[in-house]
């Protein structure tokens, strides 16, 4: 069976104890870490240790790379794969970290292509994931998401959900699932939920998930993932089928975990 620790170098990395300061960072910055039981915390910490050594973090626009940046991003990325065997995003080598919102300039247009009908706006981005390329993350948005899970937004969960999606070959909203039965139920539930979100957002009606998820199937999966980890109790209550399918894929019962934490 596949085991992520088969690698000799990884075993060596884990000879080092998990730094006490890193535990403090996790406790303070990553609310979902506090929800985990002892065994899960242990597993996550091991993945964080390996992830932070294996991945290359590059600060952009003057951003300095601190332990806090490395640990918070690694922990959230690995939270998604806590429940199933995974090779720690082996295709990902680099993370580009910007201090604040990256603004992508509008495309340049020639004299003859200019038209008042074309909206020329700059697009602000908080993160971006590329197949076999870097992940771009904006640090102030990462901290906002980590500190305010009630918003249902977490740019790290979002971008790493895209990476899981891309591992199946294309970013089409369906990651590599664990069984043939899962594909069947996934297709049914995701199609229904995606079309519902699209219909409601087109009509300007209130939507359960962020209407950004109506853009395409890949964004739907990423947006649903953010909600599954951030507001699982509400998702389980309101969109049970979607919750169950995601819980089956991530092999995590995030709602139950949060309930347990709340009653502590």
92 near Zn ion, rule: CB under 5 A = no
Rounded Cα distance, 68 and 203, in Å: 42
Asked if 25 touches Zn ion (CB under 5 A), the answer is no
Q: Which is nearer to Zn ion, 161 or 242 (CB)?
A: 161
Report residue 109 as tokens: 């247009």
Among candidates 134, 150, 132, 153, which has minimal Cα distance to 142? 153
Nearest to Zn ion of 115, 123 (CB atom): 123
Pick one of 26, 71, 96, 222: the residue that binds Zn ion (CB under 5 A). Answer: 222
Tell the smallest beta-carbon distance from residue 153 to Zn ion (Å). Answer: 11
Judged by CB under 5 A, the chain residues 1 through 20 that form the site for Zn ion are none
Interface size with Zn ion, residues (CB under 5 A): 2
135 binds Zn ion (CB under 5 A): no
Query: What's the half-sphere exposure (Cβ side, CA atoms, 13 Å) at 238?
Result: 12
73 is a contact residue toward Zn ion (CB under 5 A)? no
Q: Shortest distance, CB of residue 142 to Zn ion, whole angstroms?
A: 15
Contact status: 72 vs Zn ion (CB under 5 A): no
β-strand partners of 135: 95, 129
**Dihedral of the alpha carbons of 128, 129, 134, 140, in degrees to the nearest 10:** 40
Distance CA(243)–CA(252), nearest Å, equals 10
Q: How far is the CB of 112 from Zn ion (least distance, A)?
A: 33
Q: Give least dist CB 163 to Zn ion, A.
A: 11
Question: How far lies 73's CA from each of 28, 90, 157, in Å?
Answer: 13, 16, 9
DSSP, residue by residue, 225-256 = HHHHHHSHHHHHHH-HHHHHHHHHHHT--HHH
**Tokens linked to 233:** 């109790």
According to CB under 5 A, which residues from 201 to 220 bind Zn ion? 219
Kindly tell me which of 44 and 129 has the beta carbon lying closer to Zn ion: 129
Work out how close the CB of 129 gets to Zn ion at its nearest, in angstroms, rounded to a whole number: 7
Q: Which is nearer to Zn ion, 210 or 236 (CB)?
A: 210
* Cβ at position 165, least distance to Zn ion in Å: 9
Contact set with Zn ion (CB under 5 A): 219, 222
């Amino acid at each position: 069976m596949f085991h992520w620790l088969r690698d000799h170098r990884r075993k060596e990395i884990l000879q080092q104890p998990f730094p006490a300061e890193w535990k403090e960072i996790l406790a303070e910055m990553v609310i979902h870490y506090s929800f985990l039981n002892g065994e899960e915390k242990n597993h996550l910490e091991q993945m964080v240790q390996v992830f932070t050594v294996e991945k290359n973090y590059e600060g952009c626009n003057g951003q300095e790379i601190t332990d806090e940046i490395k640990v918070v991003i690694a922990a959230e990325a690995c939270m998604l794969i806590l429940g199933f065997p995974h090779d720690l995003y082996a295709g990902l080598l680099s993370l580009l970290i910007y201090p604040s919102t990256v603004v992508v300039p509008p495309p340049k247009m020639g004299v003859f292509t200019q038209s008042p009908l074309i909206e020329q706006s700059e697009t602000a981005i908080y993160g971006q994931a590329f197949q076999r390329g870097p992940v771009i993350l904006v640090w102030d948005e990462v901290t906002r998401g980590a500190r305010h899970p009630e918003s249902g937004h977490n740019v790290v969960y979002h971008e790493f959900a895209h990476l899981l999606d891309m591992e199946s070959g294309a970013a089409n909203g369906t990651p590599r699932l664990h069984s043939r039965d899962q594909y069947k139920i996934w297709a049914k539930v995701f199609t229904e939920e995606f079309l519902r979100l699209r219909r409601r957002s087109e009509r300007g009606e209130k939507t359960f998930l962020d209407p950004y998820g109506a853009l395409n199937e890949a964004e739907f999966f990423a947006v649903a993932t953010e909600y599954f980890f951030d507001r699982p109790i509400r998702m389980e209550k309101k969109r049970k089928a979607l919750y169950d399918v995601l819980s089956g894929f991530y092999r995590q019962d995030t709602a139950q975990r949060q309930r347990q934490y709340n009653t502590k």
